[in-house]
Chain A
Amino acid sequence: MPKRKQIQRAEEPTVPVAPMLDMAFQLLTFFILTFKPLPTEGQFVMNLLPAQPATEMSAEAPSEATSDQLPATLRTLPTVLKAGQGGTLAEIIVGETVIPTDQAALEKELDKYLQDPNLPFDQTLLKVDPNLKYSEVIKVVNAFSNAFIRARKEPNISFDQLQPGEAQ
């Protein structure tokens, strides 16, 4: 009986794992060296129609909107963004009111316009100073996007260039 056990042990196959481990380590080294996680990018999706007179403006509004029957001019919240030194945001005029430029105060002001059930606004037209930096525009788009979402409306934002002498 002990003789039989010895024979069984001798026949046990041995697979050389070391070369496989070498290859695995080489692969691992390659992946570690080439691994470079890309930063996460987000996006603002929007339908931008070519610029046309405000009376003909008809950006796509959500079909369930109650104010759908009103003309687009009445549903559009006009916003002017003026540039200061070095392309920074100097002034924001919503409707005819100058509102603060810092993010929290801006969003609070926008909530007043978009969450008021007596106001029909479901889209906005940003008239942007051509000298304004893109990052400043995106900050305002971000604030509007947040305000639209809080008001349970589809963010509907369009752009136009602020002409010299306009909104003085």
Chain B
Amino acid sequence: MSANMSTELKAEPNLTPLLDIVFQLITFFMLVINFSTDNYDKRVNLPVAGSARPAEDQQQVSEDRLVLNVDSQGHLLMGGEVMPLHKASQSIKHQADLIKLNLKASGHKMDERRGLPTTIVLRADRDASFSAILDLIKVCQSNGFRKFALKAMNG
């Protein structure tokens, strides 16, 4: 008799709407989550500029680019390694050589005036001195890079 009573009182809430909401939340988080933090270096505090345009154009985002993170001391940060200018220039030259080889292999000719098709994305710290940035820009230019994108935070 008592067992019978307990089965009668068993509450069975309808979990389907709750599940629907949870799935919707999961979908939202799956869509907005961004695991690609490879180019985002926390050590770099970007300067603030209101008119910096976000690179939301898919062509701009997907095109060939080389990201250079520069810390407040003007050193290049590459793969967790801090590189002074002479080491950084070797690394940039190596990257440029690889791009030139790729161009050659794909049958494209490098236009000397337009330079390499790769865009240098410069993520430099706001406290870095301009001389360090300009030295890095000159190294890139001497290796055939002409297109630059200076990163800044949208204020």
SS of A interface (majority): mixed
SS of B interface (majority): mixed
Would you call B146 and A49 a contact (CB within 8 A)? yes
- The chain B residues found within 8 Å of chain A, CB to CB, are 15-16, 18-19, 22-23, 25-26, 29-30, 32-34, 37, 40, 46-55, 60, 119, 121, 123-131, 133-134, 137-138, 141-142, 146-154
Chain A residues numbered 12-52 whose CB sits less than 8 Å from any CB in chain B:
17-18, 20-21, 24-25, 27-28, 31-32, 34-35, 37-51
Would you call A35 and B152 a contact (CB within 8 A)? no
Chain A proximity of B11: nearest CB distance (Å)? 13
Q: Is residue A101 contacting chain B, with contact meaning CB distance below 8 A?
A: no
Which residues of chain B are near A32, meaning CB under 8 Å?
29
Which residues of chain B are near A20, meaning CB under 8 Å?
19
30 interchain pairs (CB within 8 A)? A17-B16, A25-B22, A27-B26, A28-B26, A28-B29, A31-B25, A31-B33, A35-B32, A35-B33, A37-B34, A39-B153, A40-B153, A41-B46, A41-B52, A42-B51, A42-B52, A42-B153, A43-B55, A43-B150, A43-B151, A44-B152, A45-B60, A45-B119, A45-B148, A50-B138, A128-B130, A135-B47, A138-B152, A141-B49, A145-B49
Chain B proximity of A135: nearest CB distance (Å)? 4
Would you call A138 and B49 a contact (CB within 8 A)? yes
Would you call A46 and B34 a contact (CB within 8 A)? no
- The chain A residues found within 8 Å of chain B, CB to CB, are 17-18, 20-21, 24-25, 27-28, 31-32, 34-35, 37-51, 87, 128-135, 137-139, 141-142, 145-146, 149, 159, 161
Which residues of chain A are near B134, meaning CB under 8 Å?
128, 130, 159, 161
Chain B proximity of A90: nearest CB distance (Å)? 13
